[in-house]
Structure formats: structure tokens, C-alpha cells
Amino acid sequence: MDMQEQLRKIQEEAAAQLATITDKAELDALKVKLMGKKGELTLIRRSMGQIPAEDRPKAGQMINEVVAILTEKMDTLAAKINMLEQEKKLASEAIDVTEPRKHTMIGMQHPISLVQDQMLSVFTSMGFDVVEGPEVEYDLYNFEMMNIPKNHPARDAQDTFYIEDNVVLRTHTSPVQARTMLNRKPPIRIVCPGRVYRADEVDATHSPVFHQMEGLVVGEDVTMADLKGTLDAFAQKLFGDDMTTRFRPSFFPFTEPSAEVDLTCVNCHGKGCRICKGTGWIEVLGAGMVNPKVLEMCGIDSKKYSGFAFGVGLERIAMLRYGITDMRALFEGDVRFLSQFRDD
Ligand code: PHE
């Protein structure tokens, strides 16, 4: 078979193969078969030495032509395969934006977090800053600075979890008052939410861990009327315009005078029901005018400044707000219970 015939055969066979090739691997294999180190065309080119010198230029030209034709065809096919693969990839990655989404579980906020957020938004809208303090607290701030001396019954080991002799799990959020007064100059207007601890048995209304929010205002001419106005506004924003508060005389070492504060019953709105035991009132918080002794211990001139403070239990507020009758539900983490709450 002469060279021309050989070339024609190679070209025909290659063209036939190119017509059936659909992927890159096959195309690469063909390229190697034709033009690789031992490729058919490479071998022919190498055998040129065997033909007479005068025929070589023509032969070289013929080989070059076949190589050029086949290279172009293979390049064209490579581009086509490339495009098809791109299209396939795009099609497989396409997103159907009209497809209905899979059902996803949406987390709910815990009722304690909900009331805490609601209360913080009420107080911040009245100009209060939010301050937090440590849960593991020095006796000094939890008791001494709150005018609760060493022999006070509130320090009884039954009520307080001691970490060390002078370190406790805070029994209320009031130590944040002391920390703030020591660090800031009046006017002071803060609320301090947080977890507190008391060695109580668990039952429907008690838990050794619970939450409070403390309020403190210190300034010139701050009076009990300001305290009442603030708490009335708080009650109305949280529970409705018909709410009001009632102060009953009480005692706290850190306030003087002190009051237990009742709120119009959120269930019967004052008419009298089972929840308020027919009185129309429910007890919700402790409050009073900051004891001048406390102001002085915290470096504030009690002749120039006065203040009020209050402490609210968040569990109590959450229970009233959502009609929860057993406090344990707030701590057990049962998803069926928790999934009922959302802020709306
Ligand atoms: N610290 C008090 C308590 O835990 C609540 C309180 C705070 C009372 C501020 C008066 C003023 O019981």
C-alpha cells in the first residue's frame, strides 16, 4: 500500500470514528491513536526517510494536509463536547424556584426569654439602660452592700448556696445595684435581668433557680411617686391600659420605705377570681426607696440624691401572662409545652 493510500485510509477511518465520538475520553484516545508518540500519522512521518528524496516534499505536504484536516475536525468536536457538558452541568444545577419548600422546624423563644425581652423593651423605651452582673457573687455585693448584715435571716444557709465563705450564688439581682452605683454617677436608670439562686425545694411555685429583673433609679428629687408612675406604666404596657398597682407596706433591708406591689389581676381585671383569690389583686414585685445607708455604702451622697428600686420575678410574670399554673413547666424543657410560645 503506498503512502497516499495509507493516508486516505487513516483519514477515512478517523472521520468515521469522529462521527460516533460523544465524550472527551474517546476523543483523547483517538488523538493519541493518530498523533501520539506511536500514532499512525507519527509513524508515517517517521518513515519518510525511506522514500526517495525527490518525493519527500510532496509526501510531507500530504501528511501535513491530513494532520491539519483531522486536527481541525478534532478541535471542532472538542469544542462541541465541551459545550454539551456545560449545558448538562447547568441543567443539573438548575433550581426550580417555584418548588414548594420542605417543612422546616422553626425554633420558639422560651416564655422566660419572651417576657424578659418584652420587659426590657418597655424599660429601655423609658430610658433605662440594661446592665448585667455575675451569678457567682461576692457576699459583699449580694448582702453587705445591700444592708443585709452578717446575722440577717436572709443569709441562712437554707436560702443561700455558698461557694466559699465570702462567695455565693446570688440570691437576687440587687447586687447589680451596688456594682452599678460604685461605677456610675447619678443620674442612674438601669434594669438588670438575670438568673438567681435559692436553696428552695422544687414545687409548683418554687425553683432553686429562677429569674428576676431589678430596676434602679438614682437622681435628685426621685420620689416614691416616680416609683409608682414607673411601675404603673410598666404594668400597662405589658398587660393593658386598665392595669394599675397597689402598694402595701413591707420590709427589705435595702429599701426604706419598702412595699409589696400588687397588680390588678390580669385574669379578671380586678373583678375577683380564683387566681387572685377574689381580691382583684395579685402580688408581683418588691420595691421601695433605696435605703440611704445603701447609697452611702456605694459612694453616693444621700443628702443630695435619692432613688427607688424594684425587683420582679420573671417566672411569675410569665405564668401570669401565659396562664401557666405550674412553674416546673418552665424548667422541664418539654418541646410540646415550649412550642406553643411565640411573640406576636
Ligand atoms: N431583692 C428583692 C428580692 O429578691 C426584691 C427587691 C428588689 C425588693 C429591689 C425591693 C427593691 O426579693
Q: What is the pLDDT of residues 172-188, one digit of tens each?
A: 999 999 999 999 999 99
CA of 315 to the centre of ligand 1 (A): 15
Q: Are 189 and 123 in contact (CB under 8 A)?
A: no
CA nearest ligand 1 atom 9, residue? 310
What's the whole-number mean pLDDT along residues 180-209?
94
C-alpha 172 to ligand 1 mean position (Å): 7
Q: Cα 287 to chain center, whole Å?
A: 33
Interatomic CA distance for residues 143 and 124, integer angstroms:
27
Angstrom distance (rounded) from CA 67 to CA 69: 6
Q: Which atom of ligand 1 is nearest to the CA of 258?
A: 10
User: Helix, strand, coil shares of the chain as percentages rounded to 5?
Assistant: 45, 20, 35
Residue 171 Cα: closest atom of ligand 1: 4
pLDDT-wise least confident of 78-87, 93-102, 110-119, 139-148: 93-102
Q: Ligand 1 centroid vs 174 CA: distance in angstroms?
A: 6
pLDDT at 167: 96
No. of helices (H) and no. of strands (E), the chain: 12, 10
Sheet hosting strand 167-169, strand order edge to edge: 136-138, 167-169, 162-164
For residues 10-30, average pLDDT: 90
Rounded Cα–Cα distance for residues 289 and 307 (Å): 6
Residue 177 CB neighbours (<10 A): 29
Q: Report strand pairing: 167-169 vs 136-138.
A: antiparallel
- Alpha-carbon distance of 232 to 236, in angstroms, equals 6
- Please give the C-alpha separations between residue 169 and each of 134, 179, 294, 300, in angstroms, as whole numbers: 9, 16, 21, 26
Protein residue with its CA nearest to atom 10 in ligand 1: 287
Q: What is the Cα–Cα distance from 205 to 23, expressed in whole angstroms?
A: 75
Mutate which of 174, 196, 210, 251 for ligand 1 pocket (most atoms within 8 A of beta carbon):
174
Comparing C-alpha atoms, which of 225, 210, 194 is closest to residue 130? 194
Res 344 pLDDT > 60:
no
pTM over 0.95: no
Using CA of residue 275, residue 277, residue 279, residue 281, what is the dihedral sign?
negative
Residue 157's pLDDT is 64
Q: pLDDT confidence of 48, banded at 50, 70, 90?
A: confident
Q: Whose CA is nearest to atom 2 of ligand 1?
A: 311
pLDDT of 159: 85
Cβ neighbours for 199, distance < 8 A, ≥ 6 positions apart: 157, 158, 159, 160, 161, 208
Residue 158 has pLDDT above 90, yes or no: no
> How many angstroms separate the alpha carbon of residue 310 from the centre of ligand 1?
6
Residue 189: all three cell numbers together:
436608670
For ligand 1, which residues put their CB under 6 angstroms from it? Answer: 172, 174, 214, 252, 255, 286-288, 309-311
Does the pLDDT at position 1 exceed 80? no
- Does pLDDT of 37 surpass 70? yes
Q: How far away, in angstroms, is 286 Cα from ligand 1 center?
A: 5
What local confidence, expressed as pLDDT, does residue 101 receive?
Answer: 83
> 213 C-alpha vs ligand 1 centroid, how far in Å?
9
| 287 Cα–ligand 1 center, Å | 6
Give the span between the Cα atoms of 235 and 244, in whole angstroms: 7
